[in-house]
Amino acid sequence: MFDSFVAGQLAIGASVGLTYALVAIGFTLIYRVLSAVNFAHGEVYTLGAFATLVAVTTLKAPPLAAVPLVIVVGLAAGLGIERVAFRPFRRFTDEASLKSRAVREATLLSSLALGIVGREAMDQVWHGQWLAIPQDKMLNQPVNLGGVMLSAGELAIAGLSLVLLVGLQWLLLRTRVGLEIRAVSSNLVGAQFSGIDINRVVLATFAVGSILGALAGMVVSLAYGSIQSSMGLTVVLKAFVAMVIGGLTSIPGAVVAGVLIGVAEGAASLWVASAWTEMVAYVLLIFTLIFFPRGLFRRRGA
């Protein structure tokens, strides 16, 4: 019984899943380098969405012209988060303390606290309301894809996640900065001995990761049209789940897991009331962890 309704639900699920995947890319990149969870990533995503809103309403720019502004906002947010919530906890430079549980848990909590502060600040500025992107600026033109109707925005999300994934792999595998990032993530002290400036590499990682997060916020707000200061919270939790199911350190794994979560949610909405679908991702997570305690796609040697 593969009718167009089922296909439509699965397609919607997949596009929601790509949203999780988009956020998970930046989130996983930061985790890979520092083994630290950046809970403030969701607020970068929200900031990206708000920057888009400001660009298209106040500055009256066409949607795509918002890209430079969003990139600048993401860059500033990333550097700020690193400086405020992560740098102060790298007090010592020996490997034991840099990778210690205490530092990991401290940065997890400090980024969580910074996330709360950021969310509340945005709540004050935009009064916690749902704001709408004007209809004519949204990417909502219908596209017929072999009988399944999708909006241009959903295709843009899919396209952007593919582009970012490939671009990131290129950055990591083909450039000097990428080499340094990989060096730091695989052996911190060794990288230091070879003359790599750790602080600079960590800053670069946060910059790249946060720009990806802000771009995700932009394209999602253009596709779905509504923005709220707490929108980053649910998405970052799902991205976190996607990262864990994907094996913590594998970026393609996180993307696959994100899509998997979205499709599972879409499929679940065929059988159960939509209120219950909120827990699908977490049920999937717990069952995955019971059978694959280290996630689905673990990088070799990690």
Partner 1 sequence: MNRPLPLGWLLAAVILVVVPAALWLFGSAYAARLAQLVLITALLAAALNLLIGTAGLLSLDTVVYYGFGAYLTAILSTNYGTTLPTEILAAAAAGALLGGLIGWPLVRLASIFFAVATMGLATIFHTTVLNWVDLTRGPMGYRGIPAFKLGEFTIDGWAGNYYVIAVVVLGGVWIVHRLTHSYYGNAMRAAREDEDCARAMGLSPHALKLQAYAVHASLMSVAGALYAHANNFLSPDNFVLLESGLTLTAVVVGGLGSLPGAFIGALVVVLVPELLRPLGNLRAFGFGMILFLSILFLPRGLWSEVSSLAFVRRHLFREGWLKR
- The total of other beta-carbon atoms located within 10 Å of residue 134's CB is 12
CB contact at 8 A, 73 and 214: yes
- Give the bridge partners for 151, in sequence order: 142
Binding mask 52-71 for partner 1 (x = CB under 8 A): --------------------
DSSP state of 85: I
Q: Does 27 interact with partner 1 (rule: CB under 8 A)?
A: no
- Closest listed residue to residue 85, CA positions, set 236, 231, 187, 210: 210
What residues contact 272, with CB distance under 8 A and at least 6 apart? none
* Total binding residues toward partner 1, as defined by CB under 8 A: 42
Tell which one of 61, 76, 267, 279 touches partner 1 (CB under 8 A).
279
Tell which one of 4, 93, 100, 124 touches partner 1 (CB under 8 A).
124
- Give the bridge partners for 227, in sequence order: 131
- The identity of residue 95, as a single letter, is E
Tell which one of 102, 176, 195, 300 touches partner 1 (CB under 8 A).
102
Q: Does 276 interact with partner 1 (rule: CB under 8 A)?
A: yes
- The identity of residue 118, as a single letter, is G
Binding mask 223-242 for partner 1 (x = CB under 8 A): --------------x--xx-
* Binding interface with partner 1 (CB under 8 A): 37, 85, 88-89, 101-102, 104-106, 108-110, 112-117, 120-121, 123-124, 237, 240-241, 244, 248, 273, 275-276, 278-279, 281-283, 285-286, 289-290, 293-295
